[in-house]
Structures are given as C-alpha cells and as structure tokens.
Amino acid sequence: MTSCSAPGKVILFGEHAVVFGEQALATAINKRLLVTGRPSSEFTFNGRPLSNEGKPYIGTCLDLIWKGGPLAIVTESELPSAAGMGSSAAVSVATLGLLTQMQGGFSREMIARKGFEVELKVQERASPIDTTTACHGSAVFVTKKKESDFLWLIEKDEKQWFLHSRDIPKMKIVVGDTGIKASTGPLVDKVKDYVRTSERAKGMVKEIGRITLDGLDAIKNEDFSKVGELMKRNHDLLNGLGVGHELLDRFVEAVQPLSYGAKLTGAGGGGSMIALTDHPTEVASLIEEQGGKAYIVETEREGVRIDG
C-alpha cells in the first residue's frame, strides 16, 4: 500500500489578471488531501467501482500515466470541494504522486506538468498555478518571464507560465465560502470580453498586476497592514471587472474590523473570499454570522509528499 498527499491552496493576488500575462501569487495551505492505493482485482474508488463520470480527476490520472493493473484507491480530504482551496488540484497531484511513486518515477516537476494536463482535460481550461502550488508548496509566483528561484515553464498553445518559488512568512488566513458554485469558464470569458472592449478594464488588469508585485514585497517584509490595503484594492478591482458577488462583499465588509484585509479569491461570481488576520476564530464567526462557511488555515511550506 502506498500513500501520497498534497496541500490545498489559496490565490493571494492576481486572479483573472494572470490570464492577460500579469503576475499572480498563490500559497499552499495546511489542509491536505491524502490518496492511498493498493493492487486490487478491479479499479475501485473508496470501495466502489471507479467511474470517470463520478471521479474524473482520478480516472484521468490513471489514463494519463498508469501502466499497471487494477488499483483500489481511497481518499481522505481536509479540503472542501469547490471552496476556492484547490481541492481538484490536490486530488490530481496526490493521485499522480501516488502513481509515479508506485512506478518508481516520483518527480515534482513531472507531477506539476501532468497535473496541469489532468486539470485541462477535465475542466477544458486551467492555469498551472494550482497544480504547481500543490506540488511545490510554499508560495508560487507566476510571471511572463523567467526570474530568480525559477521552478519551471509550462506552455499550452500560445500561452506561457513561468512559475517561481517564493518564501513567505507564516500567515493566518480565514477562507469564507459562500456556498455558491460559479463556473470559472464563463467568468473568464466575461472578463476577456470586457478587456477587449474597454480601456478602463485594461487599466484595472494592469493595476492588479502591480498590486501583486507590491503585495509580494509587503508579505516578505511582514508589513501586513500594507498587505491588507492591497487586498482591499484588489477586491474592488475584481468587482470592477464584474466577477464579484453581493455575499462576498458582505463577508469582506464584516471581517474588516478584525482583519488586515480581505478579498475574493479565485474566479469569483460566488465561491470564496480570504481574510488575513491575527484573530481567526473571531473572523470565522463573523463570516458564519453572514451565512458563510468559514475555514481557518495557515500558509504551508510542504508540497506533495509520500506518506507511506
């Protein structure tokens, strides 16, 4: 029996702007997803016959790299689904880690590349920032050129993502989930159409890119008050691009008195927000008073790992 786990993630800065070549910053978080596998007489998932319709990420991982016989696969997750914490990337990366370890070829870079392929096949569109963060851990910085602490370049069609490692301090973050599941694709297309026709939208995208750079510097310097200011501005700009939601705004407003800052994270249109705070329990309560589900997390250094 072999086990492998991968962390979840949150996007700190840069969502949507990264589609236009601007910077983005994500961090791994200390909630993980564990995948265990052993030889079996048939392919099963959590005790039932494996179906790609029900669990497409695991099935796609198997189709992509597995050369052996049937496996019994079991997952245990601390990550809620569709809550902006990278659960699909974590299951893809942990499954690929399990399969490559069982075949004697464990490699974080290879897992990151194949993980992006899995996400792309299942979702039809994806960014490699989620799977790279689940593989590498710590913080991952995406740019349109190679910089220091370069990890790898991932390309698809005409798109290029230069992925870099960044060390950031331990930070307490509360994730507030609206419970509203909005499809990423239409939101991305909506922003693309707006940027194509509006100079104002182009300017907002450029500003989000600058905020990401300033935010990374402020995090490194542990200037969390500045980080909070930038988070609020990033949130306002994402609202300006049309991907906000009334409930996200309510959460962000509610947590301001006890947080350095807060913003939506991920695609928007519902989904989740994050708050940077020294008072996570109180902030979580404020989010739940507004009708959300709150999760207290911390930044995490460790990426994908073999657990047994």
What ranges do the domains of the chain cover? Answer: 2-168, 172-298
Question: Cα–Cα distance between 123 and 119 in angstroms, integer?
Answer: 6
**Averaged confidence pLDDT in the chain:** 94
172-298, which class in CATH? alpha beta
Name the pLDDT band for 54 (thresholds 50, 70, 90).
Answer: low
Q: How far is CA 19 from CA 72, 208, 229, in A?
A: 38, 12, 23
Mean pLDDT to the nearest integer, 278-302 = 97
- Give residue for tokens 């791994």: 28
Does residue 185 have a pLDDT over 80? Answer: no
Mean pLDDT to the nearest integer, 151-170 = 94
Evaluate whether the domain defined by 2-168 bears CATH number 3.30.230.10: yes
Name the pLDDT band for 68 (thresholds 50, 70, 90).
Answer: very high
Mean pLDDT to the nearest integer, 179-194 = 86
